[in-house]
Each structure stands twice: as C-alpha cells, then as structure tokens.
Chain A
C-alpha cells in the first residue's frame, strides 16, 4: 500500500489531482481492516486504460465493480491511466501504479482486469502493466498472481493483445466474472499458506499456473492466448489456428464461444454507481435499457457482437432510474443502448421518470436517435424549452449507398424529419457520415454535399428570417474502418491519401456559412483498422510503439502517426496488409478462433447482398 504521507508529495503541482484520490461517494471496496482479517479475499484491480474522466464514464466498469464487491469473498478496486505528468512523477519517484480506494499497488492484486473498449487504448494497457512493476508479456510473468486479463468491445479479435494477457473474456461479463474469481479463489486459498515450499520450484509454479489457466479456459467466453497459435502461409495469410497448450489430447481447435447474459433482467440495473468528485465526460446517471441492436447495419461491429437484442423490462427500469437519481443526486439521466429509440416503451420510461413528481428538474439524454418521426417526438419531450440540437447519422449521402450498408433511412424520411425539426424550432443539426465505404463512388460523396445543401434549402422554407440566421449544420466525417464480425470484415480500407482527397473535395463542395465540417484523422482510423483486423504479429508492433513512447493514442494531441509507421517497420509488419488489403472470403481470419454466435456464412451472404445492392429486412440469423 502507498504510505499516506507520500500522496502529498506525489500530487504536488500535478494537473487535476482529483483524478488520483478516490474518496468518491458510493465506493464499494472492502476496507483495509477487512482485508487484513480476511487474507484469502481475492483482490481485483479494474483498470480503464484512459484518464479518470473517461474511465469513470464507462458503465461496464461500474457494473463489474458492483458485482465483485457484493461478494464477501471478493474485493474490487479501480485504477485508471495516469496522465503523462503523473506518469512522469510515478516513474521518477519509483512509485508503482496504485488503486484509488486502498492505494494498493497493482502488482499486489490477484487479478488485473482491463477494459479494452477500443483499439486506441492498447498502448495505455501496456503502459499500465509496466507501471505496475510487471513484465508486459504474459510468459515473462512467472508469479502465480496477479493474473492479467481484459475484456470489452475490441477483445473480439484477441490477437493484438494476446502476448500481454493471461486470459481474455469475450462477451458479457456479469456471470463470467464470478466464475473467474471463484477459480482464482480456490488457487489462492490452496497456495496462500504452503506456497513457500511447493511453489518454490519454478517447474511446479508453472505447472500450477497452467492448470489454473486451463481451469479458467473452461468458462464460457474465456480465451487463454498461450494455448493457441496462428500458423502462417508464405504470403503472410493464416494457414491454420492451432491449439498448443492446456490439456494434451485436444485435436483441432475448439472455438471460444462468446459469453451471453441471456436474461438481461437477472442482474439489477445499477442504481448506485460511484459518483465522481471531478467532472467526467458523461457526468450523469447512465441507465442501460437494452443490450444488442436489431438493425444489422453492415458496417457496425457492435450491432453484431452484442447480439441478441435484449430489452430490459420497463417496470424495473422506471424503478431503478428513480432509485438511481435519488441515490446519486444527479440531475441528468441517460438511457443508453446501441439504438435507444428502438426501445419499445421509451416514451413511457421517460415520462414516468420525469413526471414522477420526485424531481423538480431532470434532464434526459439519449446517446443515439434515429431520423424518424418517433425520435423527433421523443426529442421534443426531452429538450422541452431549450432545443440544444439534434444529431442524425445517415452515414452515407446517397440512397444507393445507404442500401448497401443497410442503413435503414430513406431520403424521404430524412427530408420529412428535418423539415419537421425546423418547424418545431430546432436550428442546430449535426450529421454523421462515413467516407471510404465499400462500393462508394464519387457520386456518393457528392450526395453528402447535396444532402447538406438540401437541408439548408428546407431550413430556408421552414424558418423565419431570424431563426434562419441562427442555422447551424455540423457535418462530421469519419473514415470507414472494416471490423471483424461484420459483413464488411473482408473489405479494404481506403488509403489515407484518397481519404484526404475526398475530404478536400467535400470541403470545396460544402462551402455554406451555415455548415461546419469536422473530420477525424484518416491516419488514426488506419491504425485503428490494423488493430481491428490484426493477427499475432501485432503485439510486437504495439510493444515497439509503446517503447517509443506512444500513449493516449485516442487523444489527437498525443497520436503520432509517424511513430506508428516506424513501429510497424521495427516489428517487420506491413500496415497495408491489415488495412488497404481486401481479405479473401476463403481466408482463415485471425478472429475465426472466436464463435460470436453468428455463422461466417451469414456474413458472406450479407456481403454478397451488399455487393448486389440489395437491402432486405432480414435480421434473422
């Protein structure tokens, strides 16, 4: 544990010291006395590998924190990535990364669990392992504990992080976490006292560790990377995936089946999260209303990997939302899911919570609205009085391309919704589009400009002079990134120069003073793509980049494309192999080791439909 006397010197002149002190309302960890009296308690550090303000906005972290701490045998504490100024302080003072609650050094935990929420966090994960005083590569960590694991959205392709993790969890964590900690608990108890003799022999230690990992690999959704490897062809594609460890006698490869929480109401919706003291990115009560999405947009990874679609019961949600607002003191609530306007009883939920009479003023936010009349009705309810703005995601400019990507919005719907929005008094509209989508032509890009110009034209018709002068249209452009477990997983990503050219073309064709064009760096998108579709050569790239100082790659100020290009070359890998290359439909894909619950044939069928320009309402698997 960190000596309390040291924290003052450690935090002197550090930016936002509130990030590192814990002390929030709603902490659930065991206290030091309890841990002293119960030495067999299994200690887990839950680490979100970004800065506190981002990590504390993550609902998954709070859900696991609650589940673990509800068990008297287990203790969970939180840690986040230190901002570079504090990392520097930790390294200079030779202080290991510590948890917020009891300030336990991370290498003293039994399990360190990372949230691999997206690919651009990978260097931060390595950095946090290193700051904990541990070897970043799993095979070099000889001690029984801590085990290092990760889960989260981007873990569905486990290879880029495979060399660093003892195990990885694919799918929903609610049930899995208790099973994992149960097994760890058995080993901890067994070797807590007699470790001095038996485990002193390195051979015994490695045998016990392997046995423990083998036990963990029997849990649904758990992938132990050291038990598998990829065999490559001479052209660098994958020849086969082989099973290299665990029990002998296994022939062929058993796919790791994604863990699925079948009954979404079997775990109480979290109503008492830790309430941060400093302002976070999503500083409000987050209530998850659905998991999964029934839309099946062909570019969207979450839409496939979070299936099946599970809606929570509205009665429970109303109760837990009200309870949560009372318990946390928040005055804002967000109903989260991949597509919240698809929740059948959304209107009832919002009305029951806001009109419960318990709160004078509650603001509601919804992360994702569709462009239809129902969404507009909802937006009108939640933005009554102050119309802050509407966000729509047509994703593609033309109907043809929207059909190809299966984005279910027609040009008429779009026009009518926008018209209705202006008539109801909105003057700020935000639009999301993707560039470099499969089968995209120059006409599709022109259509983005045309759509935008048409919106200005509609605004002119619907708004009076004064409102029209306040018109603000924000157009946000992202580069398409092919993701595993989507019908577009084989597609090539557009190269950076072409993407930049397309952005420039758009800039020229959208020149109205009402429109602001934003775009995310195609360079970052290209690195993200390489990690999404990477294989077992990618760990060397991440390690090289981390050694060169890559951190916080999702932060524009810190992302350094040149550094990444160098790192690929140091590791002897070609980024283009993972990004601008069209993968073969018959190729063995790195993520074939995971069974996401959807057959590859389905993705091939969907891809062929896209190629033929067919949009069918077929979401059945």
Chain B
C-alpha cells in the first residue's frame, strides 16, 4: 500500500536539499510510529520516493512523496501524527492511501508551476513581463499567466516542463536559469522579484492539467 502525501517547505526549510528531505521524512515517519516498508539488501532503507527536486533556497507549497506501508492508514490520522513529528516549516497538507501500484512521482509529473511576485516601478509593466517571457526559451514553458494584483505589484505564473516528451522537442524548465534571466531583465527594466515559490505540480491529461492525487483515487 502506498500513502501519497503533499507537503510544503516554507521559510527556512527551503534551504534543505532533496537528500535532506528524504532523511527528514524517513525519520519523521519513524517518529510517528508508522512502519514504512523497507528496501531489500544489506542496508535496508524505508521505501520513500519524492517528487522532482527543486533548487536549494526555493520555497515550495507543493512537494509530493510516496511512502510504502504494510497497512492502510486513515489519512486524517496520518496527517495528524506526521505533523506532530516533522521539523518546523515542513507541513503535510494532504494525503491519500491506495492499494494500487503507482508509477513513481518523478516519472508522472509533467509540469511544475512557479509563481513570482514582481514589484514594478510603474503600473504599465505587464507588457514588459510578457515581452520577457516571449523572448525566453519557449520550448521549456507549457504556458504562463500574468496578472496585475495591486498597484505596481504583478503576479507571474510559469508552467514549466518537468520532463522531456518523446513526441515533442521540448526542454526541461530550469528555475535557476529563468530566475537569473528575469532578475537581469528586471534590473534594466525597473522590475524587482519580491518573492518566488513552487506552488503546484501537474500531470498532463489531454488538454487538462491533473493533480498527482488523481492517480490515487
């Protein structure tokens, strides 16, 4: 049986790496008294797999993990105990349990959504942001969305590809490259990135973007 859960890495927790998270989640699950199935071999480790790694220093509201367990757990109970056993700023937001075999998160996640809050010198900067996206390598971007939020504050949503498709000549969206380019562009165009975070991951289903929990239900 597999419990798939979604968690966030807020504030300082964004400085913890993929490998750190694997260790932290394994220990938290053990602290919670949940017995994860063990891998085979001389040095068995709990069977936990994570969604795609994100760069160190980027906050995420949508990390996913699969843990294999022997008995199916009530997901409400799971969330309650695991949240009392996690370090600060790492919080499990949702969980689901299934008896089905699941394809690994890394193999199914197609698209990652990053949100940028951009501060601008004037109210007319939406076009500037759009022109930046147009000039950026479009083969790594599934789609994007911009919106004026308050005076001089803009929201930019980037849906970047998380993997390469056989029938498509796309590229993988690299957050650090994009962030750096946006920063540079901003310096000469009066834009300042106030905040950025990963907010969702999706599986492409036809023309629709699906949540990884759909696989479980």
Contacts and interface: CB of A to CB of B under 8 A. Distances in A.
Interface of A: 7-8, 11-12, 17-18, 21-25, 27, 275, 277-279, 326-331, 360-361, 385-386
A329 B12 contact: no
A329 B87 contact: no
24 contacts: A11-B15, A11-B57, A18-B15, A18-B17, A25-B28, A25-B85, A25-B87, A275-B27, A277-B16, A277-B20, A277-B24, A278-B16, A278-B17, A279-B19, A326-B33, A327-B31, A329-B27, A329-B31, A330-B27, A331-B30, A360-B35, A360-B38, A360-B44, A385-B42
Nearest to A11: B15
B86 interface: yes
A12 B87 CA distance: 22
B13 interface: yes
B12 to A, nearest CB: 4
Nearest to A383: B42
Given A23-B87, A277-B87, A361-B38, 4 more contacts: A12-B57, A21-B12, A330-B30, A331-B26
Interface of B: 12-13, 15-17, 19-20, 23-24, 26-31, 33, 35, 38, 42-44, 56-57, 85-89
A17 B9 CA distance: 14
Nearest to B44: A361
A361 B57 CA distance: 34
Nearest to B43: A386
A329 B38 contact: no
**Which of A7, A27, A360 has the largest count of B CB atoms less than 10 A from its CB?**
A360
B31 A18 contact: no
Contacts of B31: 25, 326-329
A329 B28 contact: yes
A327 B27 CA distance: 9
Contacts of B88: 23, 27
Given A23-B89, A327-B31, A331-B30, A17 B57 contact: yes
Given A23-B12, A326-B31, A279 B85 contact: no
A7 B89 CA distance: 15
Nearest to B24: A277
Given A23-B87, A25-B28, A329-B31, A386 B42 contact: yes
A183 B158 CA distance: 59
Contacts of B86: 25
Given A25-B31, A331-B30, A7 B12 contact: yes
The 10 closest A-B pairs by CB, nearest first: A329-B27, A329-B30, A386-B42, A17-B15, A329-B31, A21-B12, A25-B87, A23-B12, A23-B88, A18-B15
A11, A22, A275, A329 interface centre (most CB from chain B within 10 Å): A329
Nearest to B36: A360
Contacts of B19: 279
Nearest to B15: A17
Contact of A17 (B26, B28, B56, B87): B56
